[in-house]
């Protein structure tokens, strides 16, 4: 008789609890994963944390569905707008300028982070000084090669010393998927501010919200106190 | 004339056509998801990103579709067996729990699926929900707070690793038990096999035949 068997070994919804427990674990991961990862990363250091899932990998996003293929031989960088002498630089013009190197963490707004990325390039402030910024300048706009993406910095932010027009990453020319051959690197801010496939730098008289800003991200994508100098324009939204 | 020594073998239906089709669609989708995840996750190590966008689309659509075959198999009149088996996953005896906690050393009356198989099915079912939801947040991240996206990234990664471990374990166990694996192709197992590995179910099926 089945009734006797049930009395002898009662059935409980163990399976349901297991199932809901795993789903709850996932929900907790979404809610608390950011803090947990930071705590774990701080405790283990970036070396070990990089071996864990979630750590130390670039995830490549594209807003167009592809990556522009720009040979260094035809690459041009334009510096224009409210400047005394507009510039139009080739890749070799750019690499002939005094270069700096830096090693910085790259923090994406979607949560991943890569520590210790080495960059080489020309400080943005150097290019701006070469062109000679007019006193009416308020902001600097950046355009990508395919004109799909754009970014914007206030002029006082643009002069921060470690904002770089980078042409080398990890000791090699910046690759196509990382925004090569030349990209902007803004280590003080979330990754979306570091425009890839940089083709034009325009000095303008007002902030022009870029692609991501038009989609709800703050123009001031500042990483709170985690890198470099403090934000010279804390009141920008 | 010689008399045959072997009696005709009675076979019991373990998985009906609906269940087998759903299983193999899931298997293909999991395979596609895992193989497309490799270049997406380790892409920056390879340096080259061949057709990354296409790989991303395949991963996205395979993931979005993943729950559908199972849901479709549950709803209609064709889902009677699937529903009965889901019910088996839900309710456990104390003996089954002890079996799982002792990794099979403590004997108990085994149902159609042993507690390890039940746990595997429950984990995969729950993981599909977690991966689907976190994948949705990753894809349409603009609609969610930043901290959720960060959490979804971490969670999607950790569950992905756990799924790979569980799926590899599932395949290893299947290859080690060809009769059980065979029933996912042919649908049936011998009554002999059922008596040895799923006594309660064998008795149940015996009484209904």
Domain-located, residue B3 = no
Contact by Cβ (8 Å): B163, B127: yes
Query: What are the C-alpha distances in Å from A158 to residues A65, A132, A186, A197?
Result: 29, 13, 9, 18
CB-CB under 8 Å, B148 with A31: yes
Query: What are the C-alpha distances in Å from A32 to residues A142, B147, B153, B154, B163?
Result: 35, 8, 11, 10, 21
What is the number of structural domains in chain B?
Answer: 1
CB-CB under 8 Å, A177 with B43: yes
Compare all CA atoms of chain B with the CA of A40 and give the residue at the minimum distance. B154
CA distance B146 to chain A (A): 6
Give residue A226's pLDDT: 43
Domain-located, residue B103 = yes
Pick from B103, B125, B126: nearest CA to B114: B103
Contact list in A for residue B142 (CB cut-off 8 A) is: 215-216
For B104-118, write each residue's pLDDT tens digit.
888 888 889 999 999
Domain-located, residue B47 = yes
* pLDDT of chain A, 237 residues: tens digit per residue: 344 444 446 788 889 999 999 999 999 999 988 777 667 655 554 444 444 555 556 777 666 666 788 899 999 999 999 999 999 999 999 999 999 999 988 877 766 777 788 999 999 999 999 999 999 999 999 999 877 788 999 998 899 888 999 999 999 999 888 888 999 999 888 888 899 999 999 999 998 888 877 776 777 777 764 444 566 666 666
Give residue A159's pLDDT: 92
CB-CB under 8 Å, B153 with A112: yes
Domain-located, residue B8 = no
Testing the interface with B: which of A26, A51, A117, A174 to mutate, by most B Cβ within 10 A?
Answer: A26
Contact by Cβ (8 Å): A106, A114: yes
* pTM listed for this prediction: 0.74
Give residue A2's pLDDT: 42
Give residue A161's pLDDT: 87
Query: Which residue ranges make up each domain of chain A?
Result: 2-45, 76-214
Contact list in B for residue A67 (CB cut-off 8 A) is: 49
CA dihedral sign, ordered A157, A160, A163, A165: positive
Domain-located, residue B7 = no
Structure tokens at B73: 């198999």
CATH no. for A76-214: 3.90.420.10
Contact list in A for residue B129 (CB cut-off 8 A) is: 23, 26
Please, which pLDDT band fits residue B168 given cuts at 50, 70 and 90?
Answer: very high
Question: B44-48 — which CB contacts under 8 Å span 24+ positions?
Answer: B44/A57, B44/A58, B44/A59, B44/A60, B44/A114, B44/A177, B44/A178, B45/A57, B47/A175
Residue whose tokens read 């920056």: B44
Contact by Cβ (8 Å): B30, B167: yes
Contact by Cβ (8 Å): A40, B148: no
Q: In this structure, how many other beta carbons lie within 10 angstroms of the beta carbon of residue B113?
A: 20
H or E element that contains B184: helix B178-186
Give residue B80's pLDDT: 93
- The stretch B168-196 carries a mean pLDDT of 93
d(CA B29, CA A221): 38
Residue from the list A13, A16, A33 with its beta carbon closest to the beta carbon of B154: A33
Domain-located, residue B108 = yes
DSSP state of A9: S
Domain-located, residue B164 = yes
Give residue B38's pLDDT: 86
Domain CATH for B176: 1.20.950.20
Give residue B203's pLDDT: 86
- The stretch B146-159 carries a mean pLDDT of 85
pLDDT above 80 for B9: no
pLDDT above 70 for B47: no
Contact list in B for residue A18 (CB cut-off 8 A) is: 119, 122-123, 126
Query: What are the C-alpha distances in Å from A9 to residues B91, B98, B104, B196, B201?
Result: 11, 12, 17, 20, 16
Domain that holds residue B166: 13-208
- DSSP, collapsed to helix, strand or coil, labels residue A167 as strand
d(CA A179, CA A194): 9
CA dihedral sign, ordered B84, B87, B89, B95: negative
What is the DSSP code string of A90-156? EHHHHHHSPPEEEEEEEE-TTS-EEEEEEEEEEEHHHHHHHH-B-TT--EEEEEETTSS-EEEEEHH
- The stretch B118-129 carries a mean pLDDT of 95
For B68-103, write each residue's pLDDT tens digit.
999 999 998 999 999 999 999 998 988 888 888 988
Burial (Cβ within 10 Å: 0-12, 13-18, ≥19) of residue B185: exposed
In sequence order, the 6+-apart residues with CB closer than 8 A to the CB of A217 are: A109, A190, A192
CB-CB under 8 Å, B150 with A37: yes
CA distance B47 to chain A (A): 8
């Amino acid at each position: 008789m089945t009734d006797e068997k049930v009395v002898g070994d009662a059935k409980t919804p163990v399976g349901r609890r297991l199932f809901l427990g795993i789903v709850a674990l996932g929900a907790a991961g979404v809610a608390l994963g950011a803090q947990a990862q930071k705590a774990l990363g701080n405790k283990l250091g970036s070396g070990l944390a990089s071996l864990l899932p979630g750590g130390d990998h670039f995830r490549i996003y594209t807003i167009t569905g592809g990556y522009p293929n720009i040979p260094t031989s035809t690459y041009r960088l334009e510096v224009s707008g409210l400047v005394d002498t507009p510039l139009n630089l080739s890749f070799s013009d750019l690499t002939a300028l005094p270069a700096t190197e830096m090693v910085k963490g790259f923090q994406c707004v979607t949560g991943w982070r890569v520590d210790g990325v080495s960059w080489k390039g020309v400080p943005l402030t150097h290019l701006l000084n070469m062109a000679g910024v007019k006193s009416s300048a308020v902001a600097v706009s950046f355009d990508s090669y395919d004109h799909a993406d754009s970014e914007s910095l206030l002029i006082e932010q643009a002069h921060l010393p470690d904002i770089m027009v980078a042409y080398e990453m990890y000791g090699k020319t910046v690759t196509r998927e990382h925004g090569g051959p030349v990209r902007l690197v803004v280590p003080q801010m979330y990754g979306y501010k570091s425009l890839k496939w940089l083709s034009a730098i325009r000095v303008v008289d007002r902030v022009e919200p870029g692609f991501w800003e038009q989609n709800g991200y703050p123009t001031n994508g500042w990483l709170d106190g985690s890198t470099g100098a403090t934000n010279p324009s804390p009141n920008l939204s | 004339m010689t008399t045959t020594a072997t009696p005709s073998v009675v076979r019991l239906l373990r998985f009906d056509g609906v269940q087998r089709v759903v299983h193999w669609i899931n298997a293909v989708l999991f395979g596609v998801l895992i193989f497309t995840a490799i270049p997406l996750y380790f892409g920056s190590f390879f340096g080259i990103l061949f057709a990354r966008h296409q790989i991303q689309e395949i991963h996205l659509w395979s993931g979005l579709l993943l729950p559908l075959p199972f849901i479709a198999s549950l709803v209609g009149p064709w889902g009677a067996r699937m529903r009965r088996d889901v019910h088996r996953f839900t309710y456990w005896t104390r003996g089954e729990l002890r079996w799982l906690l002792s990794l099979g050393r403590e004997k108990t009356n085994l149902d159609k699926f042993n507690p390890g198989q039940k746990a595997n099915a429950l984990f995969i079912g729950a993981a599909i929900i977690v991966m689907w939801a976190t994948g949705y947040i990753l894809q349409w991240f603009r609609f969610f707070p930043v901290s959720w996206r960060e959490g979804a990234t971490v969670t999607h990664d950790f569950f992905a690793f756990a799924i790979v471990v569980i799926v590899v374990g599932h395949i290893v166990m299947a290859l080690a038990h060809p009769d059980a694996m065979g029933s996912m192709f042919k649908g049936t197992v011998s009554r002999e096999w059922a008596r040895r590995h799923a006594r309660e179910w064998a008795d149940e099926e015996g009484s209904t035949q």
